[in-house]
Amino acid sequence: MTTTEASQTQQPRGALLVVEGGDRCGKTSQCTRLLDALHARGIDARAVKFPDRTSETGKLIDLYLKGAKDVDDHAVHLLFSANRWESMKHIRALLEQGTTLVVDRYAFSGVAYSAAKGLDLEWCKQPDRGLLRPDLVLFLDLDPIAAARRAGYGEERYERVDMQQRVRSNFMSLADGSWKILDASRTVDEIAADVSAAAIAAVEAARSTPLCSDLWCS
Ligand code: NYM
Ligand code: MG
């Protein structure tokens, strides 16, 4: 095949799979399990995590989350959004080359957490308007009282039961047809089975659906 022919070959796109939930819901373990399950089926997949604590905005966010820095609620909300926008070109390029992405938190966390601090929910959605729309949102639903019993709870800002209860109800108000709400109080294996079944179906469906930068545009 010549170079011209290779560049003209249309690769089916990868899927944008988002995993969301409150703190200590088991999200990070499920993302790892999902990536392994996709790789085991020969699917090209990579992990992405928001906030990306390595970029300039991410370093500031990290200090804020650890309580080492105070930032105005509106300003930090915009920083979390900027932290996503600065990755969008790279994310789009990966999806277009056929790589499926398993994204640990996205704009839904942005809105659910900031609105739980008292910011207006509609205001919170605006900065993320026009981000790539996920093919699937897997929401790991766990009672905040059960989450609070898990190891390490309380280490970061927001890890308080009253806050997490408001976060949970905000998440619920953002759910639409692209969401799958999973009972995260079950065993890791049980949850992982549901997560990978839904994800594999979404990877298949994404092959024939265009990629859209229209999150919250309608
Ligand atoms: N968080 C995360 C936000 O408040 N806004 C956002 O846009 C995102 C992506 O950061 N408590 C909060 C939720 C978490 C914290 O995430 C860090 P993690 O996945 O717990 O490391
Ligand atoms: Mg956390």
The average confidence (pLDDT) of the chain is 96
Nearest CA to ligand 1 atom 17: 51
What is the C-alpha to C-alpha distance for residues 167 and 204, in angstroms, rounded to an integer?
31
What is the C-alpha to C-alpha distance for residues 94 and 16, in angstroms, rounded to an integer?
10
87 CB neighbour count, 10 Å cutoff:
18
- Domain that includes residue 171, residue range: 13-206
Domain membership of residue 215 (yes or no) is no
Q: What share of the chain is helix, strand, coil (3-state, %, to 5)?
A: 50, 10, 40
Tell me the backbone φ, ψ of residue 118, rounded to 5 degrees: 110, 0
The finding on whether 105 has its CB within 6 A of some atom of ligand 1 is yes
Domain membership of residue 5 (yes or no) is no
CATH number of 57's domain: 3.40.50.300
The finding on whether 128 has its CB within 6 A of some atom of ligand 1 is no
Reported as a single tens digit per residue, the pLDDT across 118-176 is 999 999 999 999 999 999 999 999 999 999 999 999 999 999 999 999 999 999 999 99
Tell me the backbone φ, ψ of residue 152, rounded to 5 degrees: 85, -5
Domain membership of residue 3 (yes or no) is no
CA of 76 to the centre of ligand 2 (A): 16
The finding on whether 21 has its CB within 6 A of some atom of ligand 1 is no
Amino acid at residue number 121: L
Longest Cα separation, the chain: 61
Domain membership of residue 33 (yes or no) is yes
Give 148-182 as a DSSP string: HTSTTTTSSTT-SHHHHHHHHHHHHHH--TTEEEE
The finding on whether 113 has its CB within 6 A of some atom of ligand 1 is yes
Domain membership of residue 31 (yes or no) is yes
Total-model pTM: 0.95
Point out the ligand nearest to the CA of residue 152: 2
Both structure tokens of 128: 């993320």
On the question of pLDDT at 110 being above 70, the answer is yes
Count: domains in the chain: 1
